[in-house]
Structure 1
């Protein structure tokens, strides 16, 4: 009998060995060594979360919030390490998302939600 939790732990170990995770972990450590970089990234993500929360509740985010996000994003893009961090984070998140999709597809999770009979 296969223990699903053992396999999940094995998969977690493989993910931690992936190039995507190693690149993300390395650049995260480098970027977060600088407290200002760390604070700016956390502030930026907090603003993005606020905007996403508004969308999820069926509302438009406040124009001021969207302007803050845009201005902060413009500032962050001038820092090559932060740009590298966001790129590595995106690649790692894509890997995790793909794994979740594979599991969801294999188990038919939500597959027929929008299909017409």
Structure 2
């Protein structure tokens, strides 16, 4: 019998060795090595986390918070280090979505068979 957790650990190792992850790691290092990029990136992430927490708690976002998030997002788009990292994150996110579709396929097929 196949141990699903062993397979998941193998997948984790494969993700760590993937080109997508390696690129993210390299670009994240570039962001952290540049003091201006790091400061901007940390501020952007803090703003994002604060807004997500407020939304999850059902709190209304203030106009100034939304404006601050938009300003921060515009600033990071002008930073080549962060821009590269964000592009790499999108590629990694796409890879994970693709993997999720593969993982969920047996369950989707099961429900399709039972709904016919």
Question: What TM-score bracket applies, with the shorter chain setting the length?
Answer: 0.7 to 0.9
Contact between 2:20 and 2:91, CA under 8 Å: does it hold in 1? yes
Instruction: Give the alignment's TM-score, normalised by structure 2.
Output: 0.79
**Greater helix share, 1 or 2?**
2
> Larger relative CO (CA 8 A, sep 6+): 1 or 2?
2
CA deviation map 1:24-64 (0-9, x unaligned): 11111111112332232122112112222222233331111
d(CA) in 1 for partners of 2:78 and 2:32? 16
Corresponding residue of 2:69: 69
TM-align CA RMSD:
2.0
How does the TM-score come out when normalised to structure 1?
0.78
Aligned to 2:44: 44
CA displacement at 1:107 relative to structure 2:
3.7
Other-structure match for 1:5:
5
1:97 Cα offset (Å): 3.2
Cα distance in structure 1, aligned partners of 2:93 and 2:87: 10
Counterpart of 1:88 in structure 2 is 88
Gaps of 5+ in 2: 112-116
Q: Distance in 2 between matches of 1:2 and 1:75?
A: 48
Alignment of 1:91-102 (within 5 A): 91-102=91-102
Higher Cα Rg, which structure:
2
* Count, aligned residues: 109
Structure 1 residue runs without a partner (length 5+): 112-117
